[in-house]
Chain A
Amino acid sequence: MAQENTQSIALDGSTDSKVAGHFKRNRFAYMFGAIVIAAGTAIRIYLDTMGFSVGTDYYSEEFQKYWMPVLYGEIIFLSSFTVILSTYLWMTRETDASSISKELELQRYWKLLGIFTVMGIWAGCVASNAVESDAAWHQVTIRDTDFTPTHIVIFYFALPFLTAMLIPAFIWTHTRIPAYMNKISLPFLAVVCGILMIMPNYGFNEWGHTFFYAEELFAAPIHWGFVFLGWSLFFLVPLAMQLIGNMARLIAEATDEEAGQSA
């Protein structure tokens, strides 16, 4: 009986009304997606409001009062989020892949797509809000200091949050989905490592910034490390193909069995 319920949810949620069933199947993506959009909007409004009014000089009292707590909060939140969630997912990992039914496996693939959807929403927010805010900032400020509001948002929240979601997603996938258990998906690893390595690359970027009183050229070589690491997204295609291959076969098997049962 339990397996039948799982199967119906994995296939089409037929036990619920259409709207409720749709929400139930996709509630992770909707709820977590709404949370990340709200977080992105809030920090963007804070940047617009407090960026130029109290954020132009790291040595000022206002900066220490209004921007440094944001930085510390981001570091504490993102480190805790990544470490606690990753540890939890690892400690509660599945040990026997053969005990996972096809329906449950398919359900977990849908959940993985939900996780990727949330990360995709965040990637879109970063692209449209964060990346060029730093370019615009450095065009109108006449000196650079140790920390700037746009760097606090991009380098210590926007991009690390993507990493903070990717690492647990990587662990979840490799400990919950049979096709990925007891081995490592190379394209998935390449995407995670590439985005993760953007953070050590801050060192190169900030070192370069010490040479300039202002940004001058956004296409400067000190930024090319980010470009090179961004190329890790090339691996999304082989990763998508892995998922497509596995899911297509699972859907075919699950629906074929269901059609066979009803015939």
Chain B
Amino acid sequence: MSEVQANGLTEAETKGRALDLRSLDNPKAMKLYRRFDGIIILVLFMFLVLGVQIQFTLTAGDWDYWIDWRDRRWWPLVAPFSLLLFIAPFTYGIWYRVRLPILATAITTLLCLVSWLSRYLNFYEFTHFPLSFTFPSTYIGLGILLDCALAISRSLIVSTVIGGGLFGALVYPINWSFMAPYKVPVEFNGMLMSVADLMGYQYIRTTTPEYLRIIEESTLRTFGGSVTPLTAVFAGLCGIVIYALFLWVGSWVNGLDKFTKRII
């Protein structure tokens, strides 16, 4: 057993720290550190691409594939819920270990890139849907807000309440400029509908029955135009809760940075 010194470190740990500090003045060591950082970032980002694609497409994909699915009640709720759940554990790990508030921006940007590539290859080239009908939504602005909340407050609790809340609440406004042309009312066969709905009628898909069951269900319309802001408030609440819950999952996962005994 190494003897503990006055500063609370063992002799070996003190020597290790001195070695680490010396390496910062060594150009060869710094060159290797930079190469090493580059590879780790590349690998982590590539796996993040796969992870977020699986997570998002299998929990909120339908709302993101089709412009007519981006409704006022489910899409602004499901999309941030799915994303925050994936972002939180990575944010916790990277913030806790290296104090970098970048994961939300990185994950939303990676999702944007891979979604565009995937929609082009799979929905446009493979199954011949128009890109104007299947282009992905953007969540990059939400990721920046979440990271800024963490960077400015330096507190996971504050960033959960402010950043998580804003992430949930602002899905609709941040995509509004892309969606506005599709919300223009048109008359078709004597019925009033949006351009997005008209495109949905023209491109019958196997999700069409689900579209009729899920999107804009109910007929009372007692809330009129308030549906979108009310959904935003509820999505903000869900964002705070799910982000907090999965930050806790992140703390548990990052606590498992351990080795166990070999079985064979």
Contact = CB atoms under 8 A, between A and B. Distances in A.
Interface of A: 11-12, 44, 47-48, 51, 113, 116-117, 119-121, 123-124, 126-129, 131-133, 135-142, 174, 180, 182-187, 189-190, 214-219, 223-224, 226-227, 230-231, 233-238, 240-244, 247-249, 251-253, 255-256, 258-259
A90 to B, nearest CB: 9
Contacts of A224: 58-59
A228 to B, nearest CB: 10
Given A139-B206, A183-B261, A240 B40 contact: yes
B60 interface: yes
B211 to A, nearest CB: 9
Contact of B209 (A127, A129, A216): A216
B256 A238 contact: yes
A135 B61 contact: yes
A113 B43 contact: yes
B19 A252 contact: yes
A182 B61 contact: no
21 contacts: A113-B36, A120-B43, A128-B117, A128-B121, A131-B53, A132-B119, A132-B122, A132-B123, A137-B126, A183-B260, A183-B261, A184-B261, A184-B262, A215-B206, A219-B58, A224-B59, A234-B250, A237-B254, A249-B16, A252-B29, A253-B19
Contact of A127 (B29, B78, B118): B118
B57 interface: yes
A244 B118 CA distance: 32
Contacts of A230: 50-51, 54-55
Nearest to A90: B264
Contact of B257 (A126, A187, A218, A249): A187
Contacts of A226: 54, 58
A131 B57 contact: yes
Contacts of A129: 118, 121-122
B47 to A, nearest CB: 5
A255 B33 CA distance: 11
Given A124-B46, A219-B63, 7 more contacts: A120-B45, A138-B206, A139-B207, A183-B260, A215-B206, A215-B207, A237-B97
Contacts of A190: 256
B105 to A, nearest CB: 16
A227 B51 CA distance: 8
Given A120-B42, A124-B49, A214-B206, A256 B258 contact: no
B39 interface: yes
A123 B43 CA distance: 9
A219 B47 contact: no
Top 8 closest pairs, chain A to chain B, by CB: A120-B46, A237-B93, A252-B23, A214-B206, A238-B257, A123-B50, A255-B29, A127-B53
A226 B47 CA distance: 15
B44 interface: yes
A120 B253 CA distance: 21
A183 B117 contact: no
A68 to B, nearest CB: 21
